[in-house]
Structure 1
Amino acid sequence: MAATEQLFNVRERKRFERHDIWERIAENGTISAAVMVFAAIAAVICANTDAYEAVHHFLETPLYVGLGNLTAGLTVELFVNDFLMAIFFLLVGIELKYEMTVGELKNPRQAMLPMLAAVGGVVVPACIYLIFNHAGARNGWAIPMATDIAFALGVLSLLGNRVPNGVRVFFSTLAIADDLISIAAIAIFYGQSPNPFWLGAAALVTCALVWLNKTQHYRLAPYSVLGLLLWFCMFKSGVHATLAGVILAFTIPAKCGVKLDSLTDWLGECLPLLDDRYDDEAHILGQHDFTVSTTRVERVMHRVTPPLIRMERLISTPVNFVILPIFAFVNAQVRLVGVDMSTLLTDPVTLGVYFGMLLGKPIGIFGMTFALVKLKACQLPRNVNWHMIAGVGILGGIGFTMSILISGLAFPTAEFEVLAAKAAILAGSVTAAVLGMIYMSVVCKHPAPKNE
């Protein structure tokens, strides 16, 4: 605080402190999850009032994206689901790359248990769905298999320091692996018949992105431009365009362009020079040599942060507080007016999605974990017991973002099936969140050890 007081006057210091407060709010998973919940609630309310027709008409408004003859026609709803969600997938891809570079996924042995538990948490919900829909809408098998990272970790964070760090790491790794499987399912099973020309163009753009990475280009601008071009090619190719975000994330450099072992020596040479060139009696506009030197230091220090982290900082707040709430509002339009509730509640899609999330997730996660530990292939993380693994399984049933996205892809023209899937997703996510919160609050009664 003393250093900050020396750097800024009173007004600027208060602005600096307010910026710190906003950053803490923006990084709080519980708050961002709450914003998305409110957006979903607002969507359900709106869908069952007279405002529904106006909102529906707006979402069907045509848009055109492109330049010159290279244009793509899409509606507002498709723009949200295909373009804005590609930015969300970019953030997911950044998190995946981070974990694979320096996080839990870097150590295969440590990551194996939650990753294989995620497989169990995908296979069992899909099987439960197919049991209910063996004679009908089988294409929705992937809907109940996705866990919403933001929602689930937001609920878990409400328990504070009572949850051991091992549980958080296990659940985070599981959710990340879950996302990987969901992304693969979208790419393989829910794309259109690919257009060879545009698919080839997307491959060329990807090669250009890889070339930028290999030749150590550390500015974000060329990656961003090529990322937009990649999205356009993917959209025209028939492969789901949101995958462009993941491809872009894995090509953005995770290293910096500065030799960090020499940074301290370089700063040591620069600081005396800055001190010599500064005149505290002259106006800053007249101190050309000083401002040129500070700009040079600023440019170098900017390059210390890897492009991957710079991109994450650039998009994380807009994704969590703008894109995901918009997505929730657009896709949670569950209109129940005039719908036969008995038909909806007993529809195989509703039952398959709901019980796939509520029963399939805990059975799959707990069952796979139990089998691996008993077979001595893996061992539970420190300070984590079987009751906590069961709680993780229940919370794994919170599926929102990916599940709703897949429901629209699985039933592109079947309105009732989409309605049934979305209603079940909302009901299942709320039920899993409430049950998981209650169960984990009972299991984790005391603060976790600080030295774990």
Structure 2
Amino acid sequence: MDGDRAPARGRAFLDRLRTESGNALLLVGVAVLALVWANSPLSGAYTRLWETPINVEIADLRFDMDLHHWVNDGLMVAFFVLVGLEVRQELAVGSLRQRRSRLVPLVAGTAGVVLPALVYLAVAGRSAPEGWGVVVGTDTAFLLGVLAIVGPALSSQLRVFLLTLSVVDDFLAVAIIGVVYSEDVALAPLAVALTCLVVLWLLGRTREWRSGPYVTVIVVLWAATLLGGVHPSLAGMAAGLLVPSRATERADVLRAKHLFRDYWQSPDAGQARNVRLGLARSISVNERLYVVLRGPVSLVVVPIFVLANAGIDLRGGALGEAFGSVIMWGVAGGLVLGKLVGISIGTWAAVRLRLGRLPDGVGPGSVAGGAALSGVGFTVSLLIIGLAFTDPAQAQAATVGVLVAIVVAALIGWLAFTLARVRWGETSADLPVTLRPPVDSTRDHVHGADDAPFTVVEYLDFQCPFCARATGMWVDMRDHFGDRIRYVVRHLPLEDVHPQAFDAAIAAEAAARQGRFWDMHDLLFSHQARLDPEDLRGYAEQLGLDMGRFDADVTDGAVRERVLEDVRSARASGARGTPTFFLNGIRHRGPHDARSLVAALEASRTV
């Protein structure tokens, strides 16, 4: 029995570490371990470990580095590739895709890089001007982890804003590392590195979907950049940016479904391989590499990096010397004061200039709290310390400044969130989660009995390829719950991406006036590629509707208002995309396949 419990406890522990708060606590624990080790009687073993020489020869190529440099210049490249992949995702399909969504965090992120550098130079510029790069970066993982601990219980919109902002921050920080802190540049290896970047671009242009060619080119790019004298972080970021990202297309999902059906009917190794390749092809190579790298980077790469870089010897009065150093105060001031003021002012200026707006649900108090937490530099700051300072005493002072900034930034962030909640009523930094208004069987389109204990409400778009009817979700849920569930649909036509969706919703409501809403609903989802006005009229004829009445209803302002009521309801309920599901009146987060929704409904019954 105990043997069964041990693996379960191990899995639960790993799942906890994979959360943002768990990962932040892991890094804190590793940093404390490094400090204790470096200040213990075993400090000599700590130093000798990271000075262990590791020499690698491949033909005429030779890499002579100690373990510390292999961690910083080798292992950490995976971290920067991950950052680049994330930036590309945000630009292609995420929060940086739309101009009005990206300008506010772009301005705020730039101000959050410039002002900290100016603060550092004002404090420590005369003593060590080369250290200004230490304060420009934010540790995204640590930031989100601390936010999960000290921020509002519901903060997903603030999280998106900070993530977008940190993407800008990371991009600028890595560019600074690659340009400012590179030395002894060799042109021939850099020519090879440039060729690798061109090859990565060509792979994306030719829509190469296999990850192997990308990984091979990235490895060669890393080696060429390292031999060329440019810090590999720049190569990692550039490589990640060039790995293509795209939204999953319905046709690819259907193709994978058919392949799995073939395997279901004839389960052999060949069919299994086809299914595996079909599934891989349906997801962008960017997203697949991101998922593969995210766990090892957060649980292995970054903790090892912290262990190798946070262990500073503070014995013999070194801590007192650090606090007496302008470098320590420049680093701490740049990260804490510079980030807080720079991001806050940058956000305020961008909003005032109407370059964009804050995400729904995010108030000024939450922005201030998030700006304060951005003073957690940690990973990027520790890396730049190793590049900027050759004097161990200066490096120690800068490292102490980074550690002090983590504590102070977290405290100021907690105070800002508390003040925002108490003074301005900002109890969350998220979209609403409660369905508004509640289901009304006299108005809403309902499948199932009014007294059913489970209710699923879907906001849908008839042109959206992933809404319920196309996936068969509702059929599976009805098979599971029977008459214990009712299904309700409301309209949320996304006209910016689906130009025919609003007219399709109008046609469905016109059919509803003749008692045929669900029949029209099914027809529209069966013919998503054909939703022109003449097509919609043809479906009405196919259903045998009174065409005179249908034509009149399609142009009736009351029908249009009925659709707009659902759109306003979606905004009031926190639905911004389709499909969005509400389970027993609460917005569902996470996968929307039938099995996940069934599990969520079953879990809600036990709460």
Query: In the alignment, does 2:169 pair up with 1:207?
Result: no
> In structure 2, do the counterparts of structure 1 residues 259 and 44 end up closer, same or farther at CA, with 3 Å as the change threshold?
closer
Deviation at 1:263, TM superposition (A): 4.8
Q: Deviations over 1:82-127 (max 9, x none)?
A: 0011011011111111111111111122111111111111111111
After TM superposition, the structure 1 stretch with the greater mean CA deviation from structure 2, 61-70 or 225-234, is 61-70
Deviation at 1:383, TM superposition (A): 2.4
Tell me, yes or no, if the aligned pair for 2:373 and 2:413 is still in contact at 8 Å. yes
After TM superposition, the structure 1 stretch with the greater mean CA deviation from structure 2, 232-241 or 338-347, is 338-347
- The runs of 5 or more residues in structure 2 that have no matched partner are 434-572, 575-607
Question: What CA RMSD, in Å, does the superposition of the two structures yield over aligned residues?
Answer: 2.7
- In the alignment, what sits opposite 2:294? 316
Counterpart of 2:254 (choices 243, 256, 264) is: 264
Tell me, yes or no, if the aligned pair for 1:171 and 1:392 is still in contact at 8 Å. yes
Which secondary structure state, in structure 2, belongs to the residue aligned with residue 162 of structure 1?
coil
Q: Deviations over 1:295-325 (max 9, x none)?
A: 3233322322221122112211111011111
Measured in 1, the distance between the counterparts of 2:48 and 2:324 equals 30
Which secondary structure state, in structure 1, belongs to the residue aligned with residue 222 of structure 2?
helix
What does 1:74-153 align with in structure 2 at a 5 Å threshold? Answer: 74-153=65-144
After TM superposition, the structure 1 stretch with the greater mean CA deviation from structure 2, 307-316 or 336-345, is 336-345
Tell me, yes or no, if the aligned pair for 1:162 and 1:444 is still in contact at 8 Å. no
Query: In the alignment, does 2:228 pair up with 1:251?
Result: no
Counterpart of 1:69 (choices 60, 72, 79) is: 60
Measured in 2, the distance between the counterparts of 1:43 and 1:143 equals 20
Query: In the alignment, does 2:309 pair up with 1:331?
Result: yes
Deviation at 1:211, TM superposition (A): 2.5
What does 1:354-373 align with in structure 2 at a 5 Å threshold? Answer: 354-373=332-351
Deviation at 1:432, TM superposition (A): 0.7
Query: In the alignment, does 2:406 pair up with 1:429?
Result: yes
Tell me, yes or no, if the aligned pair for 2:100 and 2:355 is still in contact at 8 Å. no
> In structure 2, do the counterparts of structure 1 residues 125 and 73 end up closer, same or farther at CA, with 3 Å as the change threshold?
same
Deviation at 1:381, TM superposition (A): 3.0
> In structure 2, do the counterparts of structure 1 residues 358 and 197 end up closer, same or farther at CA, with 3 Å as the change threshold?
same
Provide the identity percentage: 30
Which secondary structure state, in structure 1, belongs to the residue aligned with residue 359 of structure 2?
coil
> In structure 2, do the counterparts of structure 1 residues 130 and 329 end up closer, same or farther at CA, with 3 Å as the change threshold?
same
- In the alignment, what sits opposite 2:361? 383
TM-score (norm 1): 0.87
Aligned pair count? 426
Deviation at 1:161, TM superposition (A): 5.8
What does 1:207-226 align with in structure 2 at a 5 Å threshold? Answer: 207-226=198-217
- In the alignment, what sits opposite 1:183? 174
- In the alignment, what sits opposite 1:154? 145
Deviation at 1:216, TM superposition (A): 2.8
Deviation at 1:59, TM superposition (A): 0.7
Measured in 2, the distance between the counterparts of 1:186 and 1:269 equals 46
Deviation at 1:267, TM superposition (A): 3.8
Counterpart of 2:327 (choices 337, 341, 349) is: 349
Counterpart of 2:187 (choices 196, 200, 203) is: 196
Larger Rg: 2
Which secondary structure state, in structure 2, belongs to the residue aligned with residue 124 of structure 1?
helix
Measured in 2, the distance between the counterparts of 1:262 and 1:384 equals 36
Measured in 2, the distance between the counterparts of 1:47 and 1:55 equals 6
Tell me, yes or no, if the aligned pair for 1:334 and 1:419 is still in contact at 8 Å. yes
What does 1:25-64 align with in structure 2 at a 5 Å threshold? Answer: 25=16, 27-64=18-55
Tell me, yes or no, if the aligned pair for 2:147 and 2:370 is still in contact at 8 Å. no
What does 1:268-279 align with in structure 2 at a 5 Å threshold? Answer: 268=258, 271=261, 274=263, 277=266
- In the alignment, what sits opposite 2:228? 237
Which secondary structure state, in structure 2, belongs to the residue aligned with residue 158 of structure 1?
helix
> In structure 2, do the counterparts of structure 1 residues 15 and 244 end up closer, same or farther at CA, with 3 Å as the change threshold?
farther
Which is helix-richer, 1 or 2?
1
- In the alignment, what sits opposite 1:298? 276
Deviation at 1:265, TM superposition (A): 6.3
- In the alignment, what sits opposite 1:415? 392
Higher relative contact order (CA 8 A, sep 6+): 1
Q: Deviations over 1:248-292 (max 9, x none)?
A: 212323259x97426526745863x556547xxxxxxxxxxx443
After TM superposition, the structure 1 stretch with the greater mean CA deviation from structure 2, 365-374 or 177-186, is 365-374
Tell me, yes or no, if the aligned pair for 1:124 and 1:364 is still in contact at 8 Å. yes
- In the alignment, what sits opposite 1:227? 218
TM-score (norm 2): 0.66
> In structure 2, do the counterparts of structure 1 residues 384 and 211 end up closer, same or farther at CA, with 3 Å as the change threshold?
closer
Deviation at 1:396, TM superposition (A): 1.2
Measured in 1, the distance between the counterparts of 2:95 and 2:228 equals 34
Tell me, yes or no, if the aligned pair for 2:51 and 2:67 is still in contact at 8 Å. yes
Measured in 2, the distance between the counterparts of 1:234 and 1:421 equals 27
> In structure 2, do the counterparts of structure 1 residues 240 and 277 end up closer, same or farther at CA, with 3 Å as the change threshold?
closer
- In the alignment, what sits opposite 1:5? none
Which secondary structure state, in structure 2, belongs to the residue aligned with residue 384 of structure 1?
coil
Measured in 1, the distance between the counterparts of 2:138 and 2:131 equals 16
Matched letter for residue 421 of structure 1 = A
Which secondary structure state, in structure 1, belongs to the residue aligned with residue 96 of structure 2?
helix
Measured in 2, the distance between the counterparts of 1:420 and 1:192 equals 24
After TM superposition, the structure 1 stretch with the greater mean CA deviation from structure 2, 397-406 or 387-396, is 387-396
Deviation at 1:370, TM superposition (A): 2.1
Matched letter for residue 361 of structure 2 = N
Deviation at 1:335, TM superposition (A): 0.8
- The runs of 5 or more residues in structure 1 that have no matched partner are 1-13, 279-289
Measured in 2, the distance between the counterparts of 1:267 and 1:17 equals 32
Which secondary structure state, in structure 2, belongs to the residue aligned with residue 72 of structure 1?
strand
> In structure 2, do the counterparts of structure 1 residues 418 and 16 end up closer, same or farther at CA, with 3 Å as the change threshold?
closer
Measured in 2, the distance between the counterparts of 1:265 and 1:184 equals 40
Deviation at 1:189, TM superposition (A): 0.8
Matched letter for residue 317 of structure 2 = V
